[in-house]
Amino acid sequence: MRLDNIKKSYNGKAILNGLTFEAKRGQPICLFGKSGCGKTTVLNIIAGLTKADGGSIIGNEGRISYVFQEDRLLEQLSAKENIMLTARNSKAADSFIEAAGLSECIDMYPADMSGGLKRRTAIARAVAFDGGIMLLDEPFNGIDAGRKKAIAEFLKSFVSDKLCIMVTHDRTDAGLMDAEIFEIINNNYRLISVIWKNVIW
């Protein structure tokens, strides 16, 4: 998937100003930067939820699994029922529940869940959808430090043959997915890459 010269402004303020980068299957990419620098906007443009003001995207067709910054669980459904919304069958749902460490919580409803449980349920639901593209918006928010590595391993096994783009403001979380990491700096409303790999701004 390639994003070429993507531009986006809100109320006259440039959020993305000529963003260009390429993502390859099996190699996760992490966009790292402070809140408000345009990370979520990039994901929403890829997903077709936000329209770019300019530029083009090639290769974002097909099914997209998206872990939103908000968990977006259905409050009237239990953890398993939320995951069953996207799982092929109950057996598949059970495998994702186990991998996400939710076996003891399958009958809990979102109102009774901690932030970490909600997050892991949202991740399991997105993985169960089995899209060819995985978008992760602050996926480790609310998950306790002891579980983050296990959840990262779960995600890495799922995206090993997929396109994966993660965004985060947390430097430690940025290193969990063995991703190419691109730091975004908002400098006078222009985004400048200060990075390690092959991104162009």
Give the tens place of pLDDT for each residue, 138-152. 999 999 998 999 999
* Statement: residue 175 has pLDDT above 70: yes
Confidence class for position 186, pLDDT limits 50, 70, 90? low
Give tens-digit pLDDT for 81-117.
999 999 989 999 999 999 999 999 999 999 999 999 9
Average pLDDT in the chain: 88
Predicted pLDDT of residue 148:
94
Domains recognised in the chain with CATH numbers: 1-62+132-201 (3.40.50.300), 74-130 (no CATH)
Confidence class for position 200, pLDDT limits 50, 70, 90? very low
Predicted pLDDT of residue 32:
87
Give tens-digit pLDDT for 28-78.
999 988 888 889 999 999 999 999 999 999 999 899 999 999 999 999 999
Lowest mean pLDDT among 133-147, 156-170, 172-186: 172-186
* Statement: residue 168 has pLDDT above 90: yes
Bridging pattern class, strands 54-58 and 29-33: unpaired
CA angle, residues 79, 155, 151, in degrees to nearest 5: 65
The answer to whether 191 and 199 are in contact (CB under 8 A) is no
Query: Whole-model pTM?
Result: 0.89
CA angle, residues 51, 23, 65, in degrees to nearest 5: 65
Could you tell me the sign of the dihedral formed by the alpha carbons of 157, 29, 58, 131, in that order?
positive
Tell me how far apart the alpha carbons of residues 104 and 18 are, in angstroms, rounded to a whole number: 47
Strand, coil or helix: 124: helix
Predicted pLDDT of residue 126:
96
What's the mean pLDDT in 155-181? 91
The answer to whether 81 and 90 are in contact (CB under 8 A) is no
